[in-house]
Amino acid sequence: MVKSNALFYGDNLVWLRDKKYFPDESVDLIYLDPPFNSKADYNVLFNEPNKGKKSQAQIKAFDDTWHWDSEASGIALNELANNKPQIAEYISWLSRQGNPYKSMAAYLATMAMRLIELQRVLKSTGSIYLHCDPTASHYLKLVIDMIFGTQNFRNEVIWCYDKWISKTKFFRRNHDVIFRYSKTNDDKFNTIREIDEIRQKTLDRGYTTNLLHNGERQLIIYKGSENKENIKRLIKKEKFARILYREPEGNPVKDWWVINIIHPKARERLGYPTQKPMPLLERIIMASSDEGDIVLDPFCGCGTTIDAAQKLNLRWPPSLGQDRGNVKSGYRYPQGVWW
């Protein structure tokens, strides 16, 4: 079984392929937010332990990632041709379309090899959430379709947020894309509910109505509101085909999420350039895992996934290195990724 509450340091592909640490079907939930086209030096985020030098594993991986004419891209394509020929054909075709498609092809080859291993380690009841931006999402979806199967596509979640953008000639680009795929039809899913302003007004009123298939109306009264005068008057005045009594609860969360990005001066912010807000990871974890499950983040970043998993009593093997044991929510994790 995969070791829980462990950090692994180095190239995530090397560690994922080690079945001693990551056997088949050993992880309940995977979240990954890989870097893409950010123009940042993600390969030099942290130093080798006790050496004070930059991580050679990261430098090698990132130097080879975005250039199709590099040796690593050729190796990746040959490997994919033996394992997933349809993906190799797609990426090879893309690489022949000239720039900027060559760098995209190199990126897809890098991601495809890792997604293949992630599909292997995911349990039959598990889900994977792939976080990307709109510049790469449509390319990545073809790759993940071919690895997980189109029948296992579950959601394209649009994460919406507000941020200041100067005057432009296009609509404000304020969203990311999160693809959710399952391993099989037996995927675990917990309905998350929320109460927005409109829903709160309905609950305060104490009732709602809707139409049945035959066109007749039914009345839904929320428990605790049965004796309200407005509801008594409504029942006398209107003829309902049916009256139901339900618990006052929120509506199921839709596939577009309005969650604010982290304020620059918030205590939560660690200074990591692509840090994601805690509520985003908490929602993902609560929706697709249960207490005690193992959550894997192969691109650890500053450790938000770890922090959320620890807070919600899940186990985690999110990046690559030594066992950290128990950690407290808010612990500042090493600024490393799984490369």
| pLDDT recorded at residue 36 | 66
Same domain, 187 and 202: no
Number of domain units in the chain: 2
Same domain, 304 and 246: no
* pTM, entire model: 0.82
In a domain, 330, yes or no: no
Read off the pLDDT of residues 27-38 as tens digits, 9 standing for 90 and up.
999 999 987 654
How far is 42 from 273, CA to CA, in rounded Å? 10
Contact 50, 321 (CB under 8 A): no
| pLDDT recorded at residue 320 | 35
Same domain, 269 and 204: no
Residue 220 belongs to what domain range?
195-251
Cis peptide before 100 (omega within 30 of 0): yes
How far is 132 from 36, CA to CA, in rounded Å? 8
Instruction: Give the tokens for residue 40.
Output: 């940042």
Residue 143, pLDDT above cutoff 50: yes
Residue 176, pLDDT above cutoff 90: yes
Same domain, 161 and 282: yes
Same domain, 77 and 127: yes
Same domain, 130 and 270: yes
Same domain, 157 and 276: yes
Query: Using 50, 70 and 90 to split pLDDT, how confident is the model at 115?
Result: very high
DSSP string, 176-234: EEEEEEESSTT------EE--HHHHHHHHHTEEEEE-TTS-EEEEEETT-TT-HHHHHH
When pLDDT is averaged across residues 112-133 and rounded to a whole number, the result is: 96
Same domain, 224 and 246: yes
| pLDDT recorded at residue 317 | 66
Residue 172, pLDDT above cutoff 90: no
Same domain, 153 and 118: yes
- What letter would DSSP give residue 48? P
Same domain, 216 and 313: no
11 vs 241, residue with greater confidence: 241
| pLDDT recorded at residue 273 | 75
